[in-house]
Amino acid sequence: MPIAASFNDEFDTRWFGWVNPADKAVRAARALGDEVSAVATTWAWPSGYLTDHPAVGEIATGVAPSGLDSPASELLASRSHRLQTVDAALYASVKAADESMLRDYCRELVRRLAFSCIDDELSPVAQSVARALVGRQWPRVEEWAALGAEYDTAVILAGAQRPGLDGLENPDQMFSYAKLFVHCRRLEALLCWERYGGDLADVVYAAWVCGVRLALSEFVAT
């Protein structure tokens, strides 16, 4: 899943989802006053933006993900979980929570994500998966497969609208991409229960970037 941190309204409005991902990361760091000496990215081509700033070396491009057993997936002091990059306090609460309570919390996030907080309705298969998860049931194999196929298609559609593919800033394309991005994250929040090693912090992250934000302490209090 891509990172979509809320640095400030001006930054997010202009650079949300901008290609190349390395550009986004470096721009984000600089927006926060940090310096970047080198960057690696899954994007296949070098960055013109980084070429204009020689202090940032592209040490690798086209880096393919290698699965959960890859050293790149290990969280170190210098490598944060995505949720930690956008809400460190929430991430700490999630990691400290009892697993049973965390699952109930994530079910509530799924309920809001699927049925309560966003105008656009999910597909029937996505709603069926969401209902099963919220109801403490496990979706059928066929439902997971159909949801996975829907997600793969949604990612392709979002990628085709990703801002910056033509090197230009286009507000209409940004609006279209933002809607597709949120749709992908909604599906991802469901698929996280089956994929990605079952890391529920990914469910919380996917909900967070869709605007479904609930402090764990507030959930426990209710």
Q: What is the pLDDT of residues 200-211, one digit of tens each?
A: 888 898 888 888
Give me the pLDDT at residue 55, please: 62
Give the whole-angstrom CA distance, residue 157 versus residue 151: 10
- Per the model's pLDDT, the better-predicted residue between 161 and 131 turns out to be 131
Phi, psi angle pair for 35, to nearest 5° = -105, 145
Beta-carbon contacts of 171 under 8 Å, excluding residues fewer than 6 positions away, are none
Residue 160 has pLDDT above 90, yes or no: no
Mean pLDDT computed over 198-222? 83
State which amino acid sits at residue 109: L
**What type of residue sits at position 42?**
T
Single pTM value for the model: 0.67
More confident residue, 62 or 124: 124
Cα–Cα dist 161/172, whole Å: 10
